[in-house]
Structure formats: structure tokens, C-alpha cells
């Protein structure tokens, strides 16, 4: 009988000790599940790409650690409204999805990040060796543009996307220029290419990165003509 009295506390201790790791494992598994759900919620459902916040965070970090190599690209699909008006929004969505998947694959092959910034606009942070001349940047953007402009088959209709790309190199801007300036520079460079003011392959200047905005948006974007409410 005394032996039973001694063993009971010991076995209870073993049960409690075995239960604690199981409880911790369950909590960790639940935490991983929640994190995955949050990550999935942050991704654009049409393209599977993360959004602007993810690209801003990545760019800010790379601007501190790999500034000499950092290039930021903004790509915009031309003529999406025409596709939506003539073939319907499903065709426009197919075009955006195709471009998103392509820029995502292009970025993944280079170990960098691509994101959907909104509408038909995408962005990417690219690292190139600092010893390479600017022509290397032009080759990269030309390769990307060629991939993005491949035809898209949608329900028997062949969609032929046209894409404008602008690039900002961190080394061309002041050392204090962070992610927002780099993205603004790339966005302005893309807009100058889109409007025909500059040729494809145009690199953003300091002036582009510090161009004043209207209501926090590039001049010419929808809504910039409206008064601040």
C-alpha cells in the first residue's frame, strides 16, 4: 500500500509533464495556422501577390542593407479599360492575373519580391551587382517587359498586353531617400514612359523621386482633381 502512495504523485507528475508539451505544441500549431491565414488574407486573391505594404517594407530594409544594388520597378498595363469595355471585366481580370503571375515568377527566379500595387499596377524590388553598368538594368527591364507582354488567351480571345515600366536606382537618389521616394521615382519614371515623354528603359532621376504629389498621389492619377474633403 505504501508503494501505491509513492507512485501516485510520481505518475501524476509524469502525466502533467507530458501534457504541457502537448499543450504548447497545440498553441504553436494554432499560432502558425493563424499566421498563415493572415498572410493569405494580405495577398491579392487575383494574382496571389502581396500588396504595397509588403513591397514598401522589403524596399525599406534593402535600402539599408543593399543600397548600392537596389532597384525598384513599377509596371503598368496599358489599355486595360479598353479590354474591360470591349470584352468585359472578366477579360480584364484575366489580363491582370496573367501579368501578376508573370512578374511574380520573374521576381521569384531572382530571389526578390513582386507586389500588386493596385488596379493594373505592379512593383518589384530588384538587386543587381553594383559593378554592373546601367545597361544591365535596361536589359533586365526589357526582359521583364517582353515576358509581361506575351499574349493571353481568354475564352478564345487573344489579349495582347502592353506594359510600361519605370525604374528607380537607389544609388541615383540621396542616401536619405527611403522606400517611399524610390517607389515615387519608379512610378514617375513609369508614367513618363507611359505618356511617351521618355523611352522604354528610362531611369528615374532625383527630380522624379521628389516630384510633388496631389493628395498623396502622382499627378494624373484618378481622384487627384478632387478637393481634399
Question: Residue 107 burial (CB < 10 Å; 0-12/13-18/19+)?
Answer: buried
Report CA torsion sign: 196, 149, 75, 144: negative
- The string over 178-209, giving b where at least 16 C-beta atoms fall within 10 Å of a residue's C-beta and e elsewhere, is ebebbbbbbbbbbbbbbeeebeebbbbbeebb
Yes or no: say if 149 and 135 are a contact pair by the CB < 8 Å rule: no
* Grid coordinates of 182: 524610390
Q: How far apart are CA 148 and CA 99, in angstroms?
A: 6
- Determine the Cα–Cα distance for residues 34 and 36; give it in Å rounded to an integer: 5
Alpha helices, H only, 76-120: 80-87, 89-109
- DSSP class of residue 204? P
120 in catalytic set: yes
Strands (E), the chain: 70-78, 113-118, 121-127, 152-154, 157-159, 162-169
Instruction: Please identify which of the residues 120, 172, 187, 208 carries the catalytic annotation.
Output: 120
Tell me the catalytic residues. Answer: 120
Amino acid at each position: 500500500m505504501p508503494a501505491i502512495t509513492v507512485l501516485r504523485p510520481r505518475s501524476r507528475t509524469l502525466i502533467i509533464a507530458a501534457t504541457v508539451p502537448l499543450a504548447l505544441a497545440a498553441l504553436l500549431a494554432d499560432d502558425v495556422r493563424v499566421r498563415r491565414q493572415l498572410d493569405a488574407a494580405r495577398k491579392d486573391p487575383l494574382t496571389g501577390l502581396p500588396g504595397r505594404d509588403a513591397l514598401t517594407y522589403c524596399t525599406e530594409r534593402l535600402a539599408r542593407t543593399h543600397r548600392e544594388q537596389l532597384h525598384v520597378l513599377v509596371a503598368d498595363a496599358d489599355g486595360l479599360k479598353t479590354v474591360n469595355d470591349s470584352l468585359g471585366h472578366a477579360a480584364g481580370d484575366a489580363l491582370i492575373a496573367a501579368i501578376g503571375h508573370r512578374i511574380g515568377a520573374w521576381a521569384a527566379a531572382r530571389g526578390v519580391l513582386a507586389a500588386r500595387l493596385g488596379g493594373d499596377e505592379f512593383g518589384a524590388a530588384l538587386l543587381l551587382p553594383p559593378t554592373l553598368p546601367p545597361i544591365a538594368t535596361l536589359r533586365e527591364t526589357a526582359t521583364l517587359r517582353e515576358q509581361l507582354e506575351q499574349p493571353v488567351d481568354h475564352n478564345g480571345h487573344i489579349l495582347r498586353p502592353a506594359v510600361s515600366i519605370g525604374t528607380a536606382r537607389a544609388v541615383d537618389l540621396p542616401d536619405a531617400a527611403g522606400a517611399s521616394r524610390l517607389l515615387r521615382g519608379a512610378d514617375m519614371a513609369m508614367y513618363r514612359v507611359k505618356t511617351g515623354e521618355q523611352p522604354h528603359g528610362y531611369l528615374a532621376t532625383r527630380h522624379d523621386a521628389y516630384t510633388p504629389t496631389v493628395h498623396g498621389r502622382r499627378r494624373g492619377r484618378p481622384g487627384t482633381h478632387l478637393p481634399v474633403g
